[in-house]
Amino acid sequence: MIDTLPLPGARPSPGPLDGLPRSGRCLVMGIVNVTPDSFSDGGRYADTGRAVRHGLRMAREGADLVDVGGESTRPGAEPTPVEEELSRVVPVVRGLVREGVPVSVDTMHAEVAHAAVKAGACLVNDVSGGLADADMAATVAAAGVPYVVTHWRAPSGEMERHARYRDVVGEVAAELLARVDSLTASGVDPGRVILDPGLGFAKRAGHDWQLLTHLGTLVATGFPVLVGASRKRFIGAALSCLADGTHGPDARDAATAAVSALAAAAGVMCVRVHDVRSSLHAVCMAAAWSGRAPSAA
């Protein structure tokens, strides 16, 4: 596969996304899971005050955005009632925005997206790409905020049965562009769309690595690209060669940072991570490697 040519139907690159930080390098989005059951840090930040403090700590460490989510999307996770998701997410969004932190909301539900944007969130990060809630497109269109469209084939309880591809890179790119066409027809501004290949969502480890090594295919579509690899199972599988056995979720931050550097060097707009500092250092090195780092004083 040649991953440096635009796909048929590729769009021209939009200008800077209104409302998002501009740094001259790949952005780093810190993850705040306000959930009891997320795969890596479920339960640690279920309390509003603790979640806000964690988000503030990420901002001090250099996070460009803090992504607040109230529903686990790990394989096999049970759906969260919208009312419960609202009660988890909105107070944290409000608390972080009050402190001047740029916040995104990680949700598949239009009602949660609407409430979070009203509370000050500047981006909607939807792992279903608008497929889980028919009202999401109209909500995002009315809100006028950047929208992350993730490749998604099925809910968490069913996704692993849909991890079948003949050409994972081509199929993911084509399905994402088809989602953009559908969302655009529903009023979403394509200039506010960000693509996410959906690592781990209806993907096996080999699929994830194929997508990462061919990120240029998505970048060539002209849309900004976000990569969420942090602490995921395919990273743990790659670390299983280590004799010391340290490849559980909490031991994957250095490896995640390596993936962040490679993704940044490939031209992605943003990486979404649990450990901000290590990935921030990594994307700065990628910027220097690519000749995009600021000149030394």
| Residues labelled catalytic | 232, 272
Using alpha carbons only, give the angle 230, 214, 152 rounded to the nearest 5 degrees: 60
d(CA 259, CA 250) in angstroms, rounded, equals 16
Question: Which residue, 252, 222, 250, is CA-closest to 237?
Answer: 252
Asked if 146 contacts 192 with a C-beta cutoff of 8 angstroms, the reply is yes
d(CA 19, CA 228) in angstroms, rounded, equals 21
Beta carbons within 10 angstroms of residue 46's beta carbon: 17
Asked if 38 contacts 2 with a C-beta cutoff of 8 angstroms, the reply is no
Residues 267-279 as b/e (b if ≥16 CB within 10 A, e otherwise) read: bbbbbbbbbbbbb
Asked if 11 contacts 190 with a C-beta cutoff of 8 angstroms, the reply is yes
The phi and psi torsions of 175 (rounded to 5 degrees) equal -70, -35
Asked if 68 contacts 104 with a C-beta cutoff of 8 angstroms, the reply is yes
